[in-house]
């Protein structure tokens, strides 16, 4: 078993190295709201997961029940190589049974990885099973050695209504802003750092062609996300965040290489492959596969792959109702047998 895990880690490292930053770069859009900005004072997160359509990574909903620590739901990100093998590269979206929730967007740092870094799969497994609050999450990213796949823009939230925006490099971490239930808390992030401390370390715009495209796209997606959040201040809830993630403003702007410019990202060969809304107070992660606007009508399968299976609907994954460890959805957006059992149980309970 130990040999198999070592081999898997070695293969994953090879894929990461061979792919380079650009092929794994994600033009994800992150949003958060809490306090007086929301309808009930609770914290909420929302994010798109934007990746190359064909090779991924693509998100699969997974429940982990560790021997020690907190049960948590997360979206494992898997790359598909040409022979059809899948490689897990980490879970940069998730929520645990304490209500701690996280989401992350890719940023390329100009500093060396920690020599004793964790691989990104273990990084997120440890985060999900051990962190209960936003303050603990900040300490986690500050104290643990970091490498490729751990870095980027994070938004954290917890069941107590706390939220934080944190920029995480390999060596350097900056807490951009903390919010509590007393604040008018809104935030939007994507694929560049904005603080004076971290901007000199951000080489996303020049790392390679792909990352340059995502950095340029950020200049459209983040202002649009902030405009939507400001327009919803005082009323933001799960339903509103779903509409924000489906926003198509700037969709008509011609794609720049792989990626597009709208929050529901319809790039030519890469864009939104899944989206999530997090409700920590109610321990619910809402998930949709493919484009959150559900528009696959004009999709060309030879370019967008499984995005032709875009759901156009949202499924609630409620942690207290989830009792079986494993995959609830698959690479192609299908509900697995485990997921079908969960949904049948949830439906029966709702019908009572």
How many CB atoms lie under 10 A from the CB of residue 206? 11
Distance CA 350, CA 352 (A): 6
Q: What is the pLDDT of residues 39-57, one digit of tens each?
A: 999 999 999 999 999 999 9
Which residue is associated with the tokens 């950095």? 215
**Would you call 223 helix, strand, or coil by DSSP?**
helix
Span 125-136, pLDDT tens digits: 999 999 999 999
Q: For residue 249, give every residue at least 6 positions away whose Cβ sits within 8 Å of its Cβ, in sequence order, or none.
A: 224, 262, 263
Residues 316 and 243: their CA atoms lie apart, in Å, by 16
Q: What are the chain's domains? A: 2-351 (3.60.60.10)
Collapsing DSSP states into helix, strand and coil, what is residue 232?
coil
- Please, how many CA atoms are within 13 Å of residue 182, restricted to the half-sphere of its CB? 1
DSSP annotation string for 84-108: S-EEE----EEEETT--EEEEE---
pLDDT (tens digit per residue) in 230-287: 999 999 999 999 999 999 999 999 999 889 999 999 999 999 999 999 999 999 999 9
Asked if 32 and 46 touch (Cβ cutoff 8 Å), the reply is yes
């Amino acid at each position: 078993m130990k040999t198999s895990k070592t081999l898997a880690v070695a293969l994953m490292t090879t894929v990461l190295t061979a792919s380079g930053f650009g092929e794994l770069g994600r033009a994800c859009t992150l949003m958060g709201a809490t306090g007086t900005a929301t309808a009930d004072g609770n914290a909420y997160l929302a994010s798109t997961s934007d990746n190359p359509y064909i090779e991924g990574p693509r998100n699969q909903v997974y429940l982990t029940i560790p021997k020690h620590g907190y049960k948590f739901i997360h979206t494992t990100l898997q790359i598909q190589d040409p022979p059809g093998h899948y490689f897990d590269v980490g879970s940069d979206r998730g929520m645990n049974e304490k209500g701690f929730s996280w989401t992350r967007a890719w940023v390329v740092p100009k500093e060396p990885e920690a020599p004793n870094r964790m691989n990104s799969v273990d990084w997120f497994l440890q985060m999900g099973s051990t962190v209960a609050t936003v303050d603990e999450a900040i300490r986690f990213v500050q104290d643990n050695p970091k490498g490729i796949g751990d870095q980027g823009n994070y938004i954290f939230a917890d069941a107590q209504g706390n939220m934080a925006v944190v920029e995480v490099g390999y060596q350097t971490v900056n807490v951009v802003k903390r919010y509590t239930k007393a604040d008018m808390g809104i935030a939007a992030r994507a694929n560049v750092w904005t603080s004076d401390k971290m901007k000199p370390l951000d080489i996303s715009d020049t790392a390679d062609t792909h990352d340059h495209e995502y950095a340029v796209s950020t200049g459209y997606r983040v202002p649009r996300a902030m405009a939507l959040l400001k327009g919803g201040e005082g009323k933001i809830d799960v339903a509103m965040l779903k509409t924000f993630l489906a926003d198509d403003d700037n969709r008509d702007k011609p794609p720049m290489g792989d990626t597009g410019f709208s929050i529901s990202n319809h790039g030519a060969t890469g864009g939104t492959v899944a989206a999530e809304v997090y409700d920590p107070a109610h321990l619910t992660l809402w998930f949709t596969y493919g484009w959150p606007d559900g528009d696959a009508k004009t999709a060309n399968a030879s370019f967008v792959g499984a995005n032709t299976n875009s759901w156009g609907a949202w499924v609630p994954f409620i942690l207290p109702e989830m009792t079986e460890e494993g995959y609830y959805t698959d690479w192609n957006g299908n509900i697995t047998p485990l997921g079908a059992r969960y949904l049948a149980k949830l439906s029966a309970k709702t019908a009572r």
